[in-house]
Amino acid sequence: MTDDVLRYAAFTDRPTGGNPAGVVLDAAGMSDDEMLAIAAELGYSETAFLTGGDGPRREIRYFSPLAEVPFCGHATVATAVALAERDGPGEVVFETRNGPVPVNSRLDDQGRITATLTSVAPRVDELAGADLDEALAALGWAREELDPDLPPRVAFAGAAHLVIAAATRERLADLDYDFDRLGALMATRDWTTVQLVWREEPGRFHSRNPFPPGGVVEDPATGAAAAAFGAYLRELGLIEPPATVTILQGEDLGRPGRLLVDIHANRPEIDVTGAAVPI
């Protein structure tokens, strides 16, 4: 593996928390096979590669251990923090496969570098009943265990995520799903992760994210899904914008992370904020 691969934990202030990501700040000239090989050897849910551009605009690509993915929030935050540590905080626009993603990095009041990504314009789609039945069967969940006030949907903010809400924290904690069955459904529908949530209070959610299309049982902190979930909350009238929502993820994996989601009334894009630290 190249010595230029950096390792960061995103959406946390400690190396043992959040979601690990690989970052390659100079991947110009790398082939797809080379990038995929690095991501596979690293074994994190995603590794980000800056493949071109300079200054405030950079081309970025993301690879899981199995395939390229169109967008990844935690690797975006990790890359922005790595750039800020090298070049100083500020604004950068990452050109992703699904459109430009502005990111603003800055020092917080504790001297940590945090980054805020602004998603592409999101959308929220209805979910076919047959797809919900298949997803629940793969998860081993029953319809009676879902929160009736948070109906299943498919939300997109750079990548598509199936959103399913559990009625209890216990249901969310007990996750033992059929990896191949869920992965087959997700591949057919082009869903990147499943965003499983439980609402602790109106602006505070706990989340878990199965990621079988990437060869990963569970993603510890998922910025792309958090952005999509912010759009979901606004679209379904579950929160009144402007609002900031906290998503706690990774607790059940022993890698707690915290994602702040800003939902706006005057523009469609969703902002997701988090810290990142070297591993």
Task: Report whether 25 contacts 86 (CB < 8 A).
Answer: yes
Six token digits for residue 237: 């009238």
Residue at 255: amino acid letter: R
For residues 127 and 247, membership in a common domain is answered with: yes
Domain boundary among 114, 138, 155: 114
For residues 159 and 108, membership in a common domain is answered with: no
Average pLDDT by consecutive 10-residue portion of the chain (279 residues)? 87 97 96 97 96 94 95 97 96 96 93 95 97 98 98 97 98 98 97 97 97 93 97 97 98 97 97 97
For residues 258 and 200, membership in a common domain is answered with: yes
Output the domain CATH number for residue 47.
3.10.310.10
For residues 162 and 260, membership in a common domain is answered with: yes
For residues 110 and 140, membership in a common domain is answered with: no
Rounded Cα distance between 137 and 106, Å, is 44
Rounded Cα distance between 86 and 118, Å, is 22
For residues 105 and 134, membership in a common domain is answered with: no
For residues 71 and 133, membership in a common domain is answered with: no
For residues 269 and 141, membership in a common domain is answered with: yes
Domain boundary among 68, 89, 114: 114
Task: Report whether 115 contacts 85 (CB < 8 A).
Answer: no
For residues 247 and 188, membership in a common domain is answered with: yes
Per residue in 166-189, is it b (16+ CB within 10 Å) or e — as a string?
Answer: bbeeebbeebebeeeebbebbeee
The domain total for the chain is 2
For residues 131 and 269, membership in a common domain is answered with: yes
Six token digits for residue 157: 């903010």
Residues near 127 by beta carbon (within 8 Å), at least 6 away in sequence: 152, 153, 154, 162
Residue 108 pLDDT? 86
For residues 105 and 137, membership in a common domain is answered with: no
Domain boundary among 81, 114, 147: 114
Q: Which domain holds residue 180?
A: 123-278
For residues 139 and 266, membership in a common domain is answered with: yes
The residues assigned a catalytic role are 46
Q: Mapping DSSP to helix (H, G, I), strand (E, B) and coil, where does residue 26 land?
A: coil
